[in-house]
């Protein structure tokens, strides 16, 4: 009997092989985050909140998602690289991996085998289960470069995609020098776990519950509490209907903090060719 082979859900016949390395990493990071009560301080909690915003809103939402994946705006190349570095420090994979996976998600939304985190496989799969199995078509560099050729042509992004894990070392050292192990536990591990699950809610919860403004050809939803946790990404139905638009929240009540940052960059002359929602 082969113990590391598990069949997929009943709707797909593609076999799945458990990636024990990935599982070990996720378990270790979550376990270290559970040390938080023994290292609590208000300043450490503040570090967590600040890094959740910096790495989440600026690095992932603005950088990896709206800037690199959808090219919803343009910024000077030096600034683009800096924002990409912040995204890589979020510990959600290198830029080529992340961008390729999300572009696949939009091309093959909710397809059982072609969408890496298809919501049709259920909440658990789309939330984080897809990360726990060996699927070369989604995790191998040669496969991903086909969906992110613009990044794969750039030596900086190839380097960052390969060595993004190393960014945790200077980050952890800096946090330790600022506040000791309390800052490390909260700034690296607690922050990572909170940001992981915040981001993953867009793949899972925002394809299950919420309201639909646009008749997109999928089950994407606008989910207010997910939007708060992800600085605007939870307005997911708006995004799936018009994926290249830089603004996720369209109505006055649809708070989109990442869009506010884009407006600031525009006022400073650093953001151009911003893709706006179509006229009513």
Nearest to 53 by CA among 238, 226, 228: 228
**Would the pLDDT of 6 be above 80?**
no
Tens digit of pLDDT for each residue in 85-140?
A: 999 999 999 999 999 999 999 999 999 999 999 999 999 999 999 999 999 999 99
CB 102 within 8 A of CB 179: no
Nearest to 241 by CA among 95, 132, 109: 109
Q: Which residues pair with 7 in a beta bridge?
A: 15
Question: Is 8 within a domain?
Answer: no
**Would the pLDDT of 1 be above 90?**
no
Number of domains in the chain: 1
**d(C-alpha 146, C-alpha 31), whole Å:** 36
Question: Is 212 within a domain?
Answer: yes
Question: Is 186 within a domain?
Answer: yes
**d(C-alpha 275, C-alpha 66), whole Å:** 10
Question: Is 70 within a domain?
Answer: yes
CB 248 within 8 A of CB 227: yes
CB 169 within 8 A of CB 176: no
Question: Is 155 within a domain?
Answer: yes
**Would the pLDDT of 9 be above 70?**
no
What residues make up the domain containing 178?
18-267
The pLDDT value given to residue 15: 77
Question: Is 13 within a domain?
Answer: no
CB 125 within 8 A of CB 173: no
Question: Is 3 within a domain?
Answer: no
Tens digit of pLDDT for each residue in 195-220?
A: 999 999 999 999 999 999 999 889 99
Q: Could you tell me how far CA 135 lies from the centroid of its own chain?
A: 19
pLDDT band for position 279 (cuts 50, 70, 90): confident
Question: Is 5 within a domain?
Answer: no
């Amino acid at each position: 009997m082969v113990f590391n082979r598990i069949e997929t859900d009943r709707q797909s016949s593609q076999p799945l092989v458990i990636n024990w390395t990935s599982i070990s990493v996720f378990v270790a990071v979550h376990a270290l985050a559970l040390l938080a009560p023994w290292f609590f301080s208000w300043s450490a909690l503040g570090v967590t909140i600040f890094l959740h915003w910096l790495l989440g809103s600026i690095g992932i939402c603005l950088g990896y998602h709206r800037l690199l994946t959808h090219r919803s705006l343009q910024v000077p190349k030096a600034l683009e690289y800096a924002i990409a570095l912040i995204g890589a420090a979020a510990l959600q994979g290198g830029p080529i991996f992340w961008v390729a996976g999300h572009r696949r998600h939009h091309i093959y939304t909710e397809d059982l085998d072609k969408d890496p985190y298809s919501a049709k496989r259920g909440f658990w799969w789309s939330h984080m289960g897809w990360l726990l199995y060996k699927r070369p078509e989604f995790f191998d560099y040669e496969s991903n470069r086909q969906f992110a050729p613009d990044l794969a042509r750039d030596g900086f992004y190839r380097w960052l995609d390969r060595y993004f894990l190393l960014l945790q070392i200077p980050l952890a050292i800096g946090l330790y020098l600022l506040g000791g192990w309390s800052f490390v536990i909260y700034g690296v591990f607690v922050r990572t776990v909170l940001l992981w699950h915040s981001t993953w809610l867009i793949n899972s919860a925002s394809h299950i519950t919420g309201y639909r403004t646009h008749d997109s050809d999928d089950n994407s939803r606008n989910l207010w509490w997910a939007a708060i946790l992800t600085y605007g990404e939870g307005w997911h139905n708006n995004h799936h209907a018009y994926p290249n638009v830089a603004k996720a929240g369209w109505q006055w009540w649809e708070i989109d903090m990442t869009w506010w940052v884009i407006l600031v960059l525009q006022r400073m002359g650093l953001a151009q060719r911003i893709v706006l929602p179509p006229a009513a």
